[in-house]
Amino acid sequence: MARIVMKFGGTSSANTDALRLCAKHVARQLNSGDEVAVVISAPSGMTAELSKKISEVDEKSKHLDETDLILSSGEQINAGLLVIILREMGLKARSWNGWQAGLITDDNHGEARIIEARTGDLCDSLKAGEVAVMTGFQGVTKECRITTLGRGGSDVSAVALATAIQADRCDIYTDVAGVFTADPAIEKNAKLIPELSPEEMLELASSGTKVLHSRSVELAMSEQMPLRVLSTFKAGSGTVIAKGLETHLVSGVTYSRDVSQISLMGLAGGIDSMQQLFSALAKKKINIDLVVQSSTRQTGLSNLVFATSKLDHDRALSVVRSDGLSGLYQNLNSVQEMTKVSVVGLGLRSQSGMLEIFFRALAEANIAMHAVATSELRISALMPEHMIESAVKALHFAYGLDKTST
Ligand code: ADP
Ligand code: ASP
Ligand code: MG
């Protein structure tokens, strides 16, 4: 007998027909003798709709605690519906809100982090043969205020629950057959990757691969929790992500739309100015994703390009325009609607020629990059949003990902 956490995403639970399908998967897992805890998302689109409604009354996002109460309600509806369906099938089941399950978070409303999981009661219910259906995406502060974990956060709830209850595996059911070499919605020739190491998956997720939230992969990696990504709608073994599994020279091409770009031209003062700028941004908790510095023809001056999330764009701008910093550079340019396209793979660190393939593929597709950055496992380029599709396709082809999934 194993203990399995099954997470169903928004598209897998968008309506009652889809929920009935989720219930069938749960019944199958139970029939094989396992204990089953379920983590359920809101029906797809509902969280975004609720968010829109909130902005009608809270334009400046000042009431983040109440926002969380509202945003977390979609998951609650689905948890109740799924439990009713399971009971109507003759199975024992009950719902658990994040707070009932004991998922305690910090008070960073909207992007809360789980700091403790007191899941004793939920484990007792599993041992008694009940299916525990927990709402994803939400937790509670020590002061009993409801929090949410950030968009896409049900994946984080699932892995957190799996580690807290010492599950044998966490299965993420979604609308695609697993993790592919590129987003199958964009690249029809994308191939399913049957096995991935946690390091590869983390790099894919943190550079934009939406199928798993990067924090869920981080947690699974540190807690050595095996993950499986598979389809709710189509039979198949999906993608297994676990320590010691096969690794790939290039795992995939990925993109993130959540990028904005700020360029400072004619920056004086070299490293000292950069230190001043980035420490001011860090003080405001603005995450910087990609930094490229290049020298100019004028001695002592350089140009600096960096990326932030779209959400942080305005705050980042006001920091670099602030009195103490605006004198450090000559011109400022910013674009809020940017994207970052990346190639990810363990082979990028050791194989010469990988960067050349990247530049050649984008040049041949007539894609003008705004900045390029490399790390051990990734090559990323900033580009305007409308170029995503052609860039993903060009890179997918250039690295031979359409031919093989290794
Ligand atoms: P869920 O509602 O189940 O949480 P998401 O919408 O968060 O699902 O994630 C699934 C989506 O991720 C897929 O529909 C797919 O378009 C997208 N996606 C992006 N990149 C990839 C990739 N490399 N492999 C698989 N899916 C991907
Ligand atoms: N419902 C939340 C969202 O849409 C959480 C999730 O689906 O993972 O972001
Ligand atoms: Mg998701």
Does the pLDDT of residue 405 top 50, yes or no?
no
**Which residue bears the tokens 């990925």?**
254
Phi, psi of 139 (to 5 degrees): -150, -160
From ligand 1's centre to the CA of 212, what distance in Å? 7
- The ligand that comes nearest to the alpha carbon of residue 46 is 2
65-75 average pLDDT score: 97
Q: Whose CA is nearest to atom 9 of ligand 2?
A: 151
Ligand 1 within 6 A of 162 CB? no
Ligand 1 within 6 A of 210 CB? yes
Name the band, by pLDDT with cuts 50, 70 and 90, for residue 406: very low
Q: Contact 158/172 with Cβ under 8 angstroms?
A: yes
Name the band, by pLDDT with cuts 50, 70 and 90, for residue 245: confident
Q: Contact 349/215 with Cβ under 8 angstroms?
A: no
Burial of 324 (0-12, 13-18, 19+ CB in 10 A): exposed
Q: Mind listing the pLDDT tens digit for each residue in 41-50?
A: 999 999 999 9
In sequence order, the 6+-apart residues with CB closer than 8 A to the CB of 331 are 264, 265, 266
- Distance (Å, rounded) from C-alpha 140 to C-alpha 71? 13
| Distance from chain centroid for Cα 364 | 30
| Distance from chain centroid for Cα 221 | 14
Nearest to 263 by CA among 283, 290, 287, 285: 290
Q: Mind listing the pLDDT tens digit for each residue in 370-404?
A: 888 888 889 999 999 999 999 999 999 999 999 86
Q: Contact 315/286 with Cβ under 8 angstroms?
A: yes
Q: Which residues line ligand 2 (CB under 6 A)?
A: 9-10, 41-42, 47, 74, 136-137, 151-154
From ligand 2's centre to the CA of 295, what distance in Å? 43
**For the whole prediction, is pTM greater than 0.85?**
yes
- Distance (Å, rounded) from C-alpha 265 to C-alpha 302? 7
- Ligand 1 probe mutation, 41, 149, 174, most atoms within 8 A of CB: 174
pLDDT over 70 for what percent of the chain?
A: 99
- Ligand 2 probe mutation, 13, 46, 47, 50, most atoms within 8 A of CB: 47
Q: Contact 140/104 with Cβ under 8 angstroms?
A: yes
**What is residue 145's predicted lDDT score, i.e. its pLDDT?**
97
Does the pLDDT of residue 1 top 50, yes or no?
yes
**What is residue 107's predicted lDDT score, i.e. its pLDDT?**
95
Domains, in order of start, for the chain: 3-175 (3.40.1160.10), 253-398 (3.30.2130.10)
* Mean pLDDT of the residues in the chain: 94
**Residue 82: count of CB within 10 angstroms of its CB:** 24
**What is residue 348's predicted lDDT score, i.e. its pLDDT?**
83
Q: Mind listing the pLDDT tens digit for each residue in 306-326?
A: 999 998 999 999 999 998 899
Give the HSE-up count for residue 70: Cα atoms under 13 Å, Cβ half-sphere: 17
Nearest to 24 by CA among 104, 110, 88: 88
Residue with the larger pLDDT of the pair 367 and 246: 367
In sequence order, the 6+-apart residues with CB closer than 8 A to the CB of 17 are none
From ligand 1's centre to the CA of 57, what distance in Å? 31
In sequence order, the 6+-apart residues with CB closer than 8 A to the CB of 390 are 365, 367
Instruction: Please give the number of the atom of ligand 2 that sits closest to the Cα of 44.
Output: 4
- The ligand that comes nearest to the alpha carbon of residue 229 is 1
269-296 average pLDDT score: 88
Instruction: Please give the number of the atom of ligand 1 that sits closest to the Cα of 232.
Output: 3
Nearest to 395 by CA among 343, 345, 352, 349: 343
196-218 average pLDDT score: 95
Instruction: Please give the number of the atom of ligand 2 that sits closest to the Cα of 149.
Output: 5
Structure tokens of 146?
């409801």
Q: Could you give the residue ranges of the DSSP H alpha helices within 72-119?
A: 73-88, 98-101
Q: Contact 319/284 with Cβ under 8 angstroms?
A: yes
